[in-house]
Amino acid sequence: MAVEADTTEGGGRKAVNITWDKDALNGDTVDLRSESGDDVSTRPGIPNDGAAVVTYPEGYHGTSHITITDADGNVEEGDITV
């Protein structure tokens, strides 16, 4: 698990900065998937630069499972507490 998180709130949304080991994945772009209970959010084709932002409603507290996948099927994943 190489996904890490840092959280800030404001403007009605809670922004969670996540990072991963970009060298563990191949290619210039990856797909990000965030699962929080029944809520699933996907962001295909984001830059494989080792950082992204996932947002939640302000005041949300819980756990999300983050999965970052490259075109070859390599995965970086982990659970974050929001």
Domains of the chain, each with CATH number or no CATH: 4-81 (2.60.40.10)
Residue 13 has pLDDT above 50, yes or no: yes
pTM over 0.75: yes
Task: Quote the percentage of the chain above a pLDDT of 90.
Answer: 68
Secondary structure class of 23 (helix, strand, coil): helix
pLDDT band for position 68 (cuts 50, 70, 90): very high
Model pLDDT, residue 59: 84
Give the separation between CA 69 and CA 19, rounded to whole angstroms: 13
Q: Walk across the sheet containing 13-19 and list its strands.
A: 4-10, 13-19, 51-57
Residue 8 has pLDDT above 70, yes or no: yes
